[in-house]
Amino acid sequence: MSTLGNDFTLNAGCSIISDNAAYYAVMQTDGNFVIYTTHTNRILWASNTMNKGQFPYRLVMQDDGNLVIYDRNNGVTWASNTLNKGAKPHALIMQDDGNLVIYDGNGGVTWATGTVQ
């Protein structure tokens, strides 16, 4: 799966993988959301939220276009700050070039990690 749609949750320990399987983004059990290269496990990007809040953590692609990491108490540990940017529906895509991108319903980019390889 390379896409998280509206109101989709990625639980701790789960990941999304680019269609070419060269990159993956994982919601780690320590609360950090990280993009890795598949073959070398090199880190391309991280939310830098390790051990902020309390386990279990989850990443949510919200209906309002905001990508958010929540802890067990629904505390926000990180957000893309894309609330209501662009048209609905929104989708988070792990692209084949290593970039993780939120697209709006018109195909416009509202946020990206900037990790094109």
Give the pLDDT band (50/70/90) at residue 14: very high
- Expressed as residue numbers, the domain containing 21 is 3-112
Which residues are CB-contacts of 57 (< 8 A; sequence separation ≥ 6)?
12, 27, 28, 29, 31, 49, 69, 70, 71, 72, 77
pLDDT digits (tens, 9 = 90+) for 47-71: 999 999 999 999 999 999 999 999 9
**CATH number of domain containing 34:** 2.90.10.10
Decide if pLDDT at 6 tops 90.
no
Instruction: Answer whether residue 117 is part of any domain.
Output: no
Instruction: Answer whether residue 84 is part of any domain.
Output: yes
Give the pLDDT band (50/70/90) at residue 1: confident
pLDDT at residue number 10: 97
Instruction: Answer whether residue 86 is part of any domain.
Output: yes
pLDDT at residue number 102: 98
- The neighbour count for residue 100, using CB atoms within 10 Å, is 26
Provide the whole-model pTM.
0.95
| pLDDT, mean of residues 18-43 | 98
Q: How many domains would you assign to the chain?
A: 1
Nearest to 59 by CA among 7, 107, 99: 7
Q: Write the DSSP symbol of residue 85.
A: -
